[in-house]
C-alpha cells in the first residue's frame, strides 16, 4: 500500500492562503472597484417618480429594481413588490426598459479581480500541488488529490414528491422496491412478524436509467425524508472528509428515521481493495468505506433507515459491501426496451408542446439503446431546435434530428448495437428459446430480451423450471446442452456465419457434458466410475480430477463428442423449423423484449396453419 498521507498538512495550509487572499480581495479591492453611486430608495419613492414621469431607464429583476432619473444622473435601487400593473405604468410614464449601468468602472476589470484572478490562483496552486504530489506518490493517480472538484455536495434532504408513476417502465425494479415502500408505511407489521428489512439495497444498472429517480420515488411514495450523498464528489477532497461526511449523514438519518439514504456511485468508494489498480493506496477511499460499513453494522435491522445505493459496476464492488446484512439485495435497473422507451418519451414530451405529427413510437424505435436520461435529452434538444427555428411547437423533424445529436454522443461509448448485430443477437436468443421449446424435456422460456445487460451479455433467454428439480435425467441434460448450443446454431442456420457471442454458452455446455461423464456416470464408456472429487460441494464445486492422463484424454474426446451431437441436433431442429425461427427472430428484433406467452403464441399460431 502506498502512503500518500503527507499532503495532509500542506493541503490545508495552501487552502488557507487562498481563502485569505480571496477574503482580502473581497474586503478591500472589490468595494473599491464596484463602488457605484447607487442610491437605495423605498418603493414609495419609486412609485412617486413613475407618477411624476421622472424615470429614465428601468431594469426590473427578481430581487431588485434598478432605475435612473430622467437626466440619467443618479442610479436608484429598490426592492421588488407584488405589482401586476407596474410594467404598464412604467410604459405609460415614458420610461425606457433597458440595462441600468450599475458599475461605472469597467465590468471586465472588476470581473477579473473578483472572479478570474482568484480562480487562476486556485488552479495554479492546484496544479503545483498535484505535480508535487505526483512526485511523492510516484506519479500514480496523484491527480485524484488535486482540485478537480472543489465543492462537495453532501446531502439534500428533499421531498420533491417524485412518485413511481413518474418513472416510466422499469416495472420489475418498481415491483421489488414496492416492499420497501410497504415497510416504511407500516414498519410495525414487519416487526410484529419478526421480519427485518434489508438494510441496504443495490440498484444496479447503466447510467441514466433512472436509479436516482427510483430512489427518490421510494421516498416520495413512502412520504419519508430523502438523504443523498454522491461519493465521487467528496472522496477526492481532504483526507478524512469522506468518513466524517458518512458519519454525519447517518447521524442525521437516524434522527429523521424512517427515511431513505441514497448513495450514488458507490463503486467510487466500494471498489475491491488491493485490486491492483491505481487506487491501491488510496486510504481515503478505504476510510470512507470502513466508516460506511461501521455505520451499516451499527444499526439494528428495524430502525427505519433504508439505504439505497447505485452502481453500474456491481462486479467491482468490495465483497465486504455485499455481505449479508449490508447491501444484500440487488435490484437490476436495465436499459429500456422499445415499449419502455416510448413510455419514457411520453413522460418527457409532456414538458413541451408537441405538434400533431409527432409519433413517439417511431422515435423510440430510432433511439434503440438509449437510456432514460438520453431520451429526456432528446426531447429537450428537440425543444431547443424548435426555438432556434422560431417555433414553440416541437415537431417530428425536431425529434428525429435531435436523436442524431444525442446518439452521436453515446454511440461512441459503444453501448449500442449496430442494426446487424441486433439481428444476430435476436437470432441467437431465439435459437436458445426455440431449441428449448422444441424439445419436450426443456423448460419453457419466460422472457427473451436483446437489450444489452449490465452483466455484459448482449441478450438473454430466461428459462423457468416448472417446479423444483433435484434430479435430472440423462435426456434432460442432453437437451440442456442442445439448448446452450442453440444460440450458435441459429447464427449458423440464418447467416452461415458464427460470432463470439456464444462464449458463455460454450462454457456452460462443456461443463454439463463433462459432469455427465465425470460426476454423474452417464456414459457407456466410463460407467459409474467417479473421475472427479468435489472438494467443497457448497462453495461453487471446487473439484479435482482423479484419473490417469490416458483417461483424461478419453474424457476430453467424449466431451467433444457429446457437445457435437447436441449441437448437430440443435442445428437440425432449427433447420426444420426455419420459418418459425425467422418469424420469432423478426418479432424479437422489433420488440426487443418478448414474454414467454408471446413466444408460445407465435410458435403455436404457426402450427395451426
Q: Residue numbers of the site for ligand ADP (CB under 6 A)?
A: 167-170, 207-213, 310, 344, 347, 372-373, 376
Q: How far apart are CA 210 and CA 589, in angstroms?
A: 24
Binding mask 397-426 for Zn ion (x = CB under 5 A): ------------------------------
Q: Which stretch binds Zn ion (CB under 5 A): 41-49, 114-122, 164-172, 498-506?
A: 498-506
Q: How far is the CB of 166 from ligand ADP (least distance, A)?
A: 7
Q: Which stretch binds Zn ion (CB under 5 A): 274-282, 287-295, 443-451, 501-509?
A: 501-509
Closest CA to 205 of 422, 547, 392, 451: 451
Q: How far is the CB of 597 from ligand ADP (least distance, A)?
A: 24
DSSP string over 110-149 = HHIIIIIHHHHHHHHHHHHHHHHHHHHTTTSSGGGGSSS-
- Would you state the cell numbers that stand for residue 416, as one nine-digit string? 449500442
The yes-or-no answer on residue 429 being catalytic is yes
Q: How far apart are CA 531 and CA 528, in angstroms?
A: 9
Q: How far apart are CA 93 and CA 86, in angstroms?
A: 11
* CB closer to ligand ADP, 375 vs 395: 375
Q: How far is the CB of 371 from ligand ADP (least distance, A)?
A: 6
CA 325, chain centre distance (Å):
24
Hey, which bits of 252-357 come out as E strands?
259-264, 305-311, 327-332, 353-354
Burial of 499 (0-12, 13-18, 19+ CB in 10 A): middle
CB contact at 8 A, 578 and 567:
no
Q: How far is the CB of 308 from ligand ADP (least distance, A)?
A: 11
Q: Which stretch binds Zn ion (CB under 5 A): 246-254, 415-423, 435-443, 505-513?
A: 505-513
Closest CA to 95 of 63, 58, 60: 58
505 binds Zn ion (CB under 5 A): yes
Residue owning grid cell 486510504: 283
Q: How far apart are CA 142 and CA 139, in angstroms?
A: 6
* CB closer to ligand ADP, 36 vs 165: 165
* CB closer to Zn ion, 243 vs 563: 563
Q: Pick what 211 binds: Zn ion, ligand ADP, none; C-beta below 5 to 8 Å, kind-dependent.
A: ligand ADP
Q: How far is the CB of 173 from ligand ADP (least distance, A)?
A: 9
Q: How far is the CB of 445 from Zn ion (least distance, A)?
A: 13
Q: Is the peptide bond before 514 cis (omega within 30 degrees of 0)?
A: no
Minimal CB distance residue for ligand ADP: 372
Return the number of other C-beta atoms located less than 10 Å from residue 174's C-beta.
19
Q: Pick what 168 binds: Zn ion, ligand ADP, none; C-beta below 5 to 8 Å, kind-dependent.
A: ligand ADP
Q: Pick what 487 binds: Zn ion, ligand ADP, none; C-beta below 5 to 8 Å, kind-dependent.
A: Zn ion
Q: How far apart are CA 205 and CA 332, in angstroms?
A: 6
Q: Pick what 358 binds: ligand ADP, Zn ion, none; C-beta below 5 to 8 Å, kind-dependent.
A: none
431 binds Zn ion (CB under 5 A): no
Q: Pick what 296 binds: ligand ADP, Zn ion, none; C-beta below 5 to 8 Å, kind-dependent.
A: none
Q: How far is the CB of 579 from Zn ion (least distance, A)?
A: 22
Q: How far is the CB of 448 from ligand ADP (least distance, A)?
A: 21
Categorise residue 435: left if φ over 0, alpha if ψ from -120 to 50, beta otherwise. Answer: alpha
Q: Pick what 379 binds: ligand ADP, Zn ion, none; C-beta below 5 to 8 Å, kind-dependent.
A: none
Q: Which stretch binds Zn ion (CB under 5 A): 135-143, 332-340, 441-449, 502-510?
A: 502-510
Q: How far apart are CA 510 and CA 381, in angstroms?
A: 49
* CB closer to ligand ADP, 307 vs 437: 307
Q: Pick what 505 binds: ligand ADP, Zn ion, none; C-beta below 5 to 8 Å, kind-dependent.
A: Zn ion
CA 300, chain centre distance (Å):
29
Closest CA to 153 of 270, 264, 256: 264
- Would you state the cell numbers that stand for residue 303, as one nine-digit string? 430502525
User: Could you give the 3-state DSSP secondary structure of residue 336?
Assistant: coil
Residue 448 backbone phi and psi in degrees, to 5: -125, 135
Binding mask 39-78 for Zn ion (x = CB under 5 A): ----------------------------------------
Q: How far is the CB of 170 from ligand ADP (least distance, A)?
A: 5
Q: Pick what 126 binds: Zn ion, ligand ADP, none; C-beta below 5 to 8 Å, kind-dependent.
A: none
Binding mask 453-492 for Zn ion (x = CB under 5 A): ----------------------------------x-----
Show contacts with Zn ion in window 349-408 (CB under 5 A).
none
HSE value, Cβ hemisphere, 13 Å, CA-based, for 502? 24
Q: Pick what 169 binds: ligand ADP, Zn ion, none; C-beta below 5 to 8 Å, kind-dependent.
A: ligand ADP
* CB closer to Zn ion, 167 vs 435: 435
- Fill in the DSSP letter of residue 323: S
What is the total count of residues that contact Zn ion (CB under 5 A)? 2
User: Which residues are within 8 A (CB) of 558 and not within 5 positions of it... i.e. 6 or more apart?
Assistant: 517, 523, 525, 526
Q: How far is the CB of 128 from ligand ADP (least distance, A)?
A: 35
* CB closer to Zn ion, 81 vs 464: 464
* CB closer to ligand ADP, 268 vs 344: 344
Residue 197 backbone phi and psi in degrees, to 5: -70, 155
Q: How far apart are CA 220 and CA 432, in angstroms?
A: 41
Q: How far apart are CA 108 and CA 605, in angstroms?
A: 75
* CB closer to ligand ADP, 200 vs 210: 210
Q: Pick what 133 binds: ligand ADP, Zn ion, none; C-beta below 5 to 8 Å, kind-dependent.
A: none
- Fill in the DSSP letter of residue 314: G
Closest CA to 255 of 224, 211, 278: 224
Among 170, 284, 429, 478, the one annotated catalytic:
429
270 binds Zn ion (CB under 5 A): no
Closest CA to 219 of 308, 300, 303: 308
Give the active site residues. Answer: 429
The footprint of Zn ion (CB under 5 A) covers: 487, 505
Amino acid at each position: 500500500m502506498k502512503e500518500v498521507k503527507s499532503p495532509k498538512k500542506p493541503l490545508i495550509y495552501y487552502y488557507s492562503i487562498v481563502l485569505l487572499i480571496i477574503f482580502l480581495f473581497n474586503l478591500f479591492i472589490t468595494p473599491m472597484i464596484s463602488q457605484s453611486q447607487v442610491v437605495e430608495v423605498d418603493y414609495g419613492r419609486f412609485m412617486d417618480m413613475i407618477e411624476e414621469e421622472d424615470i429614465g431607464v428601468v431594469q426590473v429583476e427578481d430581487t431588485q429594481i434598478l432605475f435612473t432619473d430622467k437626466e440619467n444622473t443618479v442610479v436608484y435601487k429598490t426592492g421588488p413588490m407584488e405589482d401586476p400593473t407596474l410594467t404598464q405604468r412604467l410604459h405609460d410614464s415614458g420610461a425606457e426598459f433597458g440595462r441600468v449601468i450599475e458599475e461605472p468602472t469597467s465590468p471586465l476589470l472588476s470581473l477579473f479581480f473578483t472572479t478570474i484572478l482568484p480562480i487562476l490562483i486556485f488552479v495554479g496552486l492546484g496544479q503545483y500541488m498535484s505535480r508535487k504530489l505526483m512526485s511523492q506518490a510516484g506519479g500514480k493517480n496523484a491527480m485524484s488529490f488535486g482540485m478537480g472538484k472543489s465543492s462537495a455536495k453532501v446531502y439534500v434532504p428533499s421531498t420533491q414528491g417524485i412518485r413511481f408513476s413518474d418513472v416510466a417502465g422499469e416495472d420489475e425494479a418498481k415491483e421489488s422496491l414496492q416492499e420497501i415502500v410497504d415497510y416504511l408505511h407500516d414498519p410495525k407489521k414487519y416487526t410484529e412478524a419478526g421480519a427485518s428489512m434489508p438494510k441496504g439495497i443495490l440498484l444496479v444498472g447503466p447510467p441514466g436509467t433512472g436509479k436516482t429517480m427510483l430512489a427518490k420515488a421510494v421516498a416520495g411514495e413512502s412520504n419519508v425524508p430523502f438523504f443523498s450523498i454522491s461519493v465521487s464528489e467528496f472522496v477526492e477532497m481532504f483526507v478524512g472528509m469522506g468518513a466524517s461526511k458518512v458519519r454525519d449523514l447517518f447521524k442525521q438519518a437516524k434522527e429523521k428515521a424512517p427515511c431513505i439514504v441514497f448513495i450514488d456511485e458507490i463503486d467510487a468508494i466500494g471498489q475491491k481493495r488491493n485490486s491492483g489498480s491505481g487506487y491501491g493506496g488510496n486510504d481515503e477511499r478505504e476510510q470512507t468505506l470502513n466508516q460506511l460499513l461501521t455505520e451499516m453494522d451499527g444499526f439494528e435491522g428495524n430502525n427505519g433507515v433504508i439505504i439505497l445505493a447505485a452502481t453500474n459496476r456491481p462486479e467491482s464492488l468490495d465483497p465486504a459491501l455485499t455481505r449479508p446484512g449490508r447491501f444484500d439485495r440487488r435490484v437490476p435497473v436495465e436499459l429500456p426496451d422499445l415499449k419502455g422507451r416510448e413510455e419514457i418519451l411520453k413522460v418527457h414530451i409532456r414538458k413541451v408542446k408537441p405538434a400533431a405529427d409527432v409519433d413517439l413510437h417511431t422515435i423510440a424505435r430510432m433511439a434503440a439503446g438509449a437510456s432514460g436520461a438520453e431520451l429526456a435529452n432528446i426531447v429537450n434538444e428537440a425543444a431547443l431546435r424548435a426555438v432556434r427555428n422560431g417555433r414553440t411547437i416541437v415537431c417530428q423533424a425536431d425529434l428525429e434530428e435531435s436523436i442524431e445529436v444525442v446518439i452521436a454522443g453515446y454511440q461512441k461509448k459503444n453501448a449500442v448495437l449496430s442494426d446487424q448485430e441486433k439481428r444476430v443477437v435476436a437470432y441467437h436468443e431465439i435459437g436458445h428459446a426455440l431449441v428449448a421449446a422444441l424439445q419436450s424435456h426443456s423448460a419453457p422460456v419466460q422472457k427473451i430480451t436483446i437489450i444489452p445487460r449490465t452483466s455484459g451479455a448482449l441478450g438473454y433467454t430466461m428459462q423457468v423450471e416448472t417446479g423444483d428439480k433435484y434430479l435430472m435425467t440423462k435426456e434432460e441434460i442432453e437437451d440442456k446442452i442442445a439448448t446452450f448450443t442453440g444460440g450458435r446454431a441459429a447464427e449458423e442456420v440464418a447467416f452461415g456465419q458464427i460470432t463470439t457471442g456464444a462464449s458463455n454458452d460454450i462454457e456452460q455446455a462443456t461443463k454439463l457434458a463433462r459432469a455427465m461423464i465425470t460426476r454423474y456416470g452417464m456414459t457407456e464408456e466410463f460407467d459409474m466410475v467417479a473421475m472427479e472429487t468435489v472438494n467443497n460441494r457448497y462453495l461453487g464445486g471446487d473439484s479435482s480430477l482423479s484419473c490417469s492422463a490416458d483417461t483424461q484424454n478419453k474424457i476430453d474426446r467424449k466431451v467433444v463428442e457429446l457437445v457435437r451431437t447436441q449441437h448437430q441436433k440443435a442445428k437440425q431442429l432449427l433447420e426444420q423449423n426455419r420459418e418459425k425461427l425467422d418469424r420469432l427472430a423478426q418479432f424479437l428484433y422489433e420488440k426487443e423484449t418478448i414474454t414467454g406467452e408471446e413466444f408460445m403464441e407465435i410458435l403455436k399460431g404457426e402450427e395451426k396453419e
